Amino acid sequence: MKTINTPLTPPTMSKTTIAIIAAVSAATGAGVTAAMYSTRSEKKIQAAKSSTSISATSTTSLPAPVPASLPIAGKDIIPPVDPAGLFQYGFPGPIADLATRNALVSSFDRRLRNPSWVAEHITPESLATSNGDRKNSAFLEDPSVPEKFRGKLKDYFRSGYDRGHQVPAADAKWSQEAMNDTFYLTNMCPQVGEGFNRDYWAHFEDFCRRLTQKYPSVRIVTGPLYLPKRDTADGKWRVSYEVIGNPPNIAVPTHFYKVIFAEDGTTTGQVALGAFVLPNAHIPNEKPITDFEVPVEAVERASGLEFASKLPVGRRKRLCADTVCALVIKEYADRQKAFGKEAAQKAVAAPTRTSPRNSSA
């Protein structure tokens, strides 16, 4: 195997501006990932939280709103309208379908038919245990999501995209049930196969697992992004993504993120924090993973999510300054692909070639 080494300290980034603008390089096939997001610290607004919540599986009865008396010109008047009365017929949403399973916790976006985020936890012990085999797992539609919002197996059929795990099956081999959990479509997004899901992304997942050689506890949150691209015709920024399925249901993300929390095993110790944004496109294996490193705030602004709001700045350290961020490219992967092509050529009336990570059919 060969190691793609990268400097311990990547080029210095501006403290006030970070670029994460999505563009795919036609020359290299790799995405040039950048964006313009201000990273200036902002004041946190504390909002009061309701003691009740509305979920996808239960309907919460909301009390009838009581019109407020408004003092106007010394008089109290009752508003002539009651917008909240709509809630007697149901709450429009949006509603995030939250699933807590053995190997992961996921939040599903009904509009895009993709997860918003999927969280996992790996340790040296969990990766050393092998009680699950992906040959015994099958891709499943998630029954916890209402049928009309659900990603369907048929949506991926001949789409040209892999059913790309957000939490990889290899991270959940400690039990067959845990591995099965990773095969729900709520843990999947359409991913480019050759050159990404079955190559660079797989090596990136391996990098995350190898972090447990130094850190006793590693938490990872993964999800899709839909980033803007500048239109060459008029110079304006637009978000454009493909939608697959019949009828078109599932959005094809332009990018994917991983936010990594490498812990020292204590509840008050330092946490090595790393965030990466990769284009959903062919990426050469020689590309340093540090080319895709971004501040956590950049992922938050792009996704509308918050990942470390309760982690004090004093406990944070930058992952790629604390350890070497480099991919290990395993030579056997190339030989395996070559063998697969040879076998496919010899097969009689064989369908399109599949691989262990190819799941578009």
Selecting among 165, 203, 255, 282, the annotated active-site residue is 165
Dihedrals phi, psi of 302, to nearest 5 degrees: -75, -30
Question: Is 165 labeled as catalytic in the residue annotation?
Answer: yes
At 334, which amino acid appears?
A: D
Task: Give the whole-angstrom CA distance, residue 344 versus residue 352.
Answer: 8
Q: List Cβ neighbours of 41 (8 Å cut-off, separation of 6 or more).
A: none
Overall residue count recorded for the chain in this entry = 361
Task: Give the whole-angstrom CA distance, residue 287 versus residue 244.
Answer: 29
Q: Is the dihedral of CA 108, 190, 358, 210 positive or negative?
A: negative
Q: Is the dihedral of CA 129, 257, 163, 107 positive or negative?
A: positive
Residue 83's SS3 state is: helix
Name the DSSP class of 305: -
14, 35 in Cβ contact below 8 A? Answer: no
Residue 194's SS3 state is: helix
Residues labelled as active-site residues:
165
